[in-house]
Amino acid sequence: MSKSIVVTDENFESEILQSEVPALLDFWAAWCGPCRMIGPMLDEISEEYSGLLKVGKINVDEEDEISRRHAIRSIPTLVLYKDGKIVNQVSGALPKKDIEALFKELIV
């Protein structure tokens, strides 16, 4: 059973940039209602696509360097990486099917 990983300044490169599978990052904060709403969906996606997709969560209040580098202006923001490069990015709370549409064609 896979679970979302906590991404920090220290493990960002090894967990995301060097990931062998696409990585979906959730920029969130504990005080953000929409972030709390999509959190369980991202955990489900992490389990359902285990081995095909890595799901990471970045708390913008704790990891401000990564947030600054990504120019995060609103949360939740989802950023999709493949081969160390950003291939998709979207802000706001999305339904599960829309989140899956961000990465589905990359894991076929």
The residues annotated with a catalytic role in the active site are: 32, 35
3-state secondary structure of 35: helix
Query: In whole angstroms, how far apart are CA 11 and each of 29, 34, 57, 58, 64?
Result: 19, 25, 12, 11, 14
The secondary element (H helix, E strand) that includes residue 69 is: helix 64-69
Q: For residues 23 and 35, what is the distance between their CA atoms, to the nearest angstrom? A: 18
